[in-house]
């Protein structure tokens, strides 16, 4: 199969040739003809599957082939994404694909001045990539009208809900024309996403290119158990032992990112960090330097790392496990992309056993444990498995006090070695799903 057989027009084929894309990926093979035919789409596709081209190519073709010229302050296609980094990345891809088409494309996101964005929108934009908050600001300030909008794409929809954008999505939805094409992409398909899809999509075609919620199988995944306080030391040890060259590291908090970067830099290691407290320009610079291999270790929070596309990243390290199990899939999706193999190592301490269990349950696998001599934890990480159970080892009964005494002895509650302790509930983010006003909607002719 080729891109030409999928029905793409010559100017797009030329761009793809320049980019060296020869064969459509599975998500592209399914999405491109469906979008060209005007269908709504609900696609379960992880990052790294080529999903961006899957929606952007047919979208650009429809914009180039049909519809009116874009009016002032108007937009004809809108791609909503959860973060600034992803907005930049998606727009960069769109720009490359649209190289030979007479279309105006642009990206807007928060954290930077709104005025240049308002100026740019004055003459209208065919395709706009946007984060929800900034898009609403622009709309409320009358810098943007949606009456020409023909297609809406929700990219990484699960992440938008995780980040609490449900209100914004509901408000945007209310402002959009009812007659439009809607494409929803999500790495994972929780019940909340299915509910959202039910409200926003019209007779969608479902595409699932990887088994539901299963992590990329091109990534070798394993964990090392360690005491929390020794994680930095273990990281440096593994880095030196494995002669790691370029590593993306995930930490749970902004402080955690800063502390690890400081520690690494103190040891003369070329490290930098990105998180939401840093200005956009600083984040972009750190990312660019990492991509150019000028920075060896990039430490990031989940939000900041969202959408990073770094070719051939060999290794991802989870310095902390993610609070939301689905983020594990996003994190390891940074490696093993487009057919290459990758490795994902997680440093896990006893506190994180429930997070580990939730990840194993979600990805339906028991992560291989590899002990590192001299780093065996004092606080043992209980065994876990893909059933979501945390297997507690029996506590040793306390020895009776030598003094004896006639009082009652409490032997404590302990489980038999064959018995499995009940799993504690995994931590689930509280998500609000917007309630949309879903009147009957006509599909695009
Ligand atoms: P995505 O899943 O959209 O983030 O894409 C992952 C990476 O695969 C990006 O670097 C794309 O440029 C690349 N890519 C997408 N489609 C193809 C293709 N058909 N052939 C080669 N590379 C591709």
Measured from the CB, is residue 335 less than 6 Å from ligand 1?
no
Pairing mode, if any, of strands 383-384 and 390-391? antiparallel
- Kindly give the number of the ligand 1 atom that is closest to the alpha carbon of 51: 3
Measured from the CB, is residue 307 less than 6 Å from ligand 1?
no
Selected residue with higher pLDDT from 336 and 347: 347
Q: Is the pLDDT of residue 419 over 90?
A: no
Q: Measured between alpha carbons, how far is 215 from 335 in angstroms, rounded to an integer?
A: 11
- Averaged pLDDT, 81-91: 93
Distance 387 CA to ligand 1 centre (A): 33
- Kindly give the number of the ligand 1 atom that is closest to the alpha carbon of 311: 10
**In a domain? residue 407:** no
**In a domain? residue 143:** yes
- Kindly give the number of the ligand 1 atom that is closest to the alpha carbon of 20: 21
Q: Which of 85-94, 367-376, 424-433 has the lowest mean pLDDT?
A: 424-433
Which among 349, 372, 391 is the end of a domain? 391
Looking at the fold, whether 111 and 232 belong to one and the same domain comes out as no
Looking at the fold, whether 116 and 262 belong to one and the same domain comes out as no
Say what the pLDDT of residue 308 is.
64
- Averaged pLDDT, 220-230: 95
Please, which pLDDT band fits residue 442 given cuts at 50, 70 and 90? very low
Looking at the fold, whether 31 and 80 belong to one and the same domain comes out as yes
Say what the pLDDT of residue 68 is.
84
Name the nearest CA neighbour of 441 among 183, 199, 194, 167: 199
The sheet carrying 75-80 orders its strands as 105-108, 125-130, 75-80, 151-154, 181-186, 41-44, 205-208
- Averaged pLDDT, 346-366: 90
- Averaged pLDDT, 377-400: 70
**In a domain? residue 105:** yes
8 A C-beta contact, residue 343 and residue 220? yes
Q: Which of 278-292, 296-310, 346-360 has the highest mean pLDDT?
A: 346-360
Distance 326 CA to ligand 1 centre (A): 22
Distance 325 CA to ligand 1 centre (A): 25
Q: Measured between alpha carbons, how far is 443 from 201 in angstroms, rounded to an integer?
A: 9
Question: For a pLDDT cut of 70, what percent of the chain falls above it?
Answer: 82
Looking at the fold, whether 134 and 243 belong to one and the same domain comes out as no
Q: Which residue has the least CA distance to atom 6 on ligand 1?
A: 48
DSSP conformational letter for 143: S
Q: Measured between alpha carbons, how far is 268 from 194 in angstroms, rounded to an integer?
A: 48
Query: 239: phi > 0 → left, psi -120 to 50 → alpha, else beta; which?
Result: alpha
Q: Which residues contact 211 (CB under 8 A, 6 or more apart)?
A: none
- Residue 386: count other Cβ atoms within 10 Å of its Cβ: 15
Say what the pLDDT of residue 433 is.
43
Looking at the fold, whether 121 and 249 belong to one and the same domain comes out as no
Please, which pLDDT band fits residue 314 given cuts at 50, 70 and 90? confident
Looking at the fold, whether 184 and 234 belong to one and the same domain comes out as no
Say what the pLDDT of residue 131 is.
97
Q: Which residue has the least CA distance to atom 20 on ligand 1?
A: 21
Q: Which of 249-263, 273-287, 372-386 has the lowest mean pLDDT?
A: 273-287
Say what the pLDDT of residue 407 is.
34
Count of the separate structural domains present in the chain: 2
**In a domain? residue 24:** yes
**In a domain? residue 405:** no
Looking at the fold, whether 86 and 119 belong to one and the same domain comes out as yes
Looking at the fold, whether 185 and 78 belong to one and the same domain comes out as yes
pLDDT in tens, 62-71: 999 987 899 9
Looking at the fold, whether 202 and 130 belong to one and the same domain comes out as yes
Selected residue with higher pLDDT from 290 and 404: 290
Measured from the CB, is residue 338 less than 6 Å from ligand 1?
yes
Please, which pLDDT band fits residue 90 given cuts at 50, 70 and 90? very high
Q: Residue 244 is part of a domain; what is its CATH number?
A: 3.40.50.300
- Averaged pLDDT, 163-176: 91
Q: Measured between alpha carbons, how far is 273 from 287 in angstroms, rounded to an integer?
A: 9
Distance 309 CA to ligand 1 centre (A): 9
Domain that holds residue 145: 4-208
Say what the pLDDT of residue 212 is.
38
Distance 83 CA to ligand 1 centre (A): 19
pLDDT in tens, 113-164: 999 999 999 999 999 999 999 999 999 999 999 999 999 999 999 889 888 8
Please, which pLDDT band fits residue 217 given cuts at 50, 70 and 90? low
**In a domain? residue 136:** yes
Q: Is the pLDDT of residue 394 over 90?
A: no
Q: Measured between alpha carbons, how far is 126 from 65 in angstroms, rounded to an integer?
A: 12
**In a domain? residue 424:** no
pLDDT in tens, 7-64: 999 999 999 999 999 889 889 999 999 999 999 999 988 777 889 999 999 999 999 9
In the predicted model, what is the mean pLDDT of the chain? 83
Distance 219 CA to ligand 1 centre (A): 17
Pairing mode, if any, of strands 247-250 and 105-108? unpaired
């Amino acid at each position: 199969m080729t891109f030409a057989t999928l029905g793409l027009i010559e100017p797009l084929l030329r761009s793809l040739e320049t980019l060296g894309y020869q064969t459509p990926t599975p998500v592209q093979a399914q999405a491109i003809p469906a979008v060209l035919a005007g269908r709504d789409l609900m696609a379960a596709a992880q990052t790294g599957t080529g999903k961006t081209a899957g929606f952007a190519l047919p979208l650009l073709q429809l914009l180039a082939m049909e519809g009116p010229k874009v009016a002032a302050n108007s937009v004809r296609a809108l791609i909503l994404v959860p973060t600034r980094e992803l907005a930049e990345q998606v727009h960069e891809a769109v720009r490359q694909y649209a190289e030979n088409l007479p279309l105006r494309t642009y990206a807007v996101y928060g954290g930077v001045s709104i005025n240049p964005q308002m100026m740019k929108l004055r003459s209208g934009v065919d395709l706009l990539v946007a984060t929800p908050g900034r898009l609403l600001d622009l709309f409320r300030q009358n810098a943007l009208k949606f009456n020409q909008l023909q297609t809406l794409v929700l990219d990484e929809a699960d992440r938008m809900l995780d980040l609490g954008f449900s209100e914004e999505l509901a408000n945007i939805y209310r402002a959009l024309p009812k007659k439009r094409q809607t494409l929803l992409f999500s790495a994972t398909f929780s019940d909340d996403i299915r509910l959202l899809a039910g409200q926003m999509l019209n007779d969608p075609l479902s595409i699932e290119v990887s088994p539901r919620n299963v992590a990329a199988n091109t990534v070798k995944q394993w964990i090392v158990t360690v005491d929390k306080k020794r994680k930095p030391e273990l990281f440096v040890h593994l880095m030196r032992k494995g002669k790691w060259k370029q590593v993306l590291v995930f930490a749970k908090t902004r402080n955690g990112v800063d502390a690890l970067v400081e520690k690494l830099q103190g040891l003369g290691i070329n490290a930098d960090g990105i998180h939401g407290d840093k200005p956009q320009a600083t984040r972009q610079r750190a990312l660019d330097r990492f991509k150019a291999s000028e920075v060896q270790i990039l430490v990031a929070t989940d939000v900041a790392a969202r959408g990073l596309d770094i070719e051939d990243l060999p290794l991802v390290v989870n310095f902390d496990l993610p609070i939301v199990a689905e983020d594990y899939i996003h994190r390891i999706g940074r490696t093993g992309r487009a057919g290459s193999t990758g490795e994902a190592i997680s440093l896990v301490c006893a506190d994180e056993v429930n997070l580990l269990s939730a990840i194993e349950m979600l990805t339906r696998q028991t992560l291989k444990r590899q002990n590192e001599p001299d780093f065996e934890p004092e606080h043992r990480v209980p065994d876990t498995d893909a059933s979501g159970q945390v297997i507690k080892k029996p506590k040793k009964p306390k020895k009776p006090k030598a003094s004896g005494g006639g009082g009652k002895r409490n032997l404590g509650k302990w489980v038999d070695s064959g018995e499995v302790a009940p799993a504690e509930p995994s931590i689930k983010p509280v998500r609000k799903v917007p309630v949309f006003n879903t009147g009957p909607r006509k599909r695009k002719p």
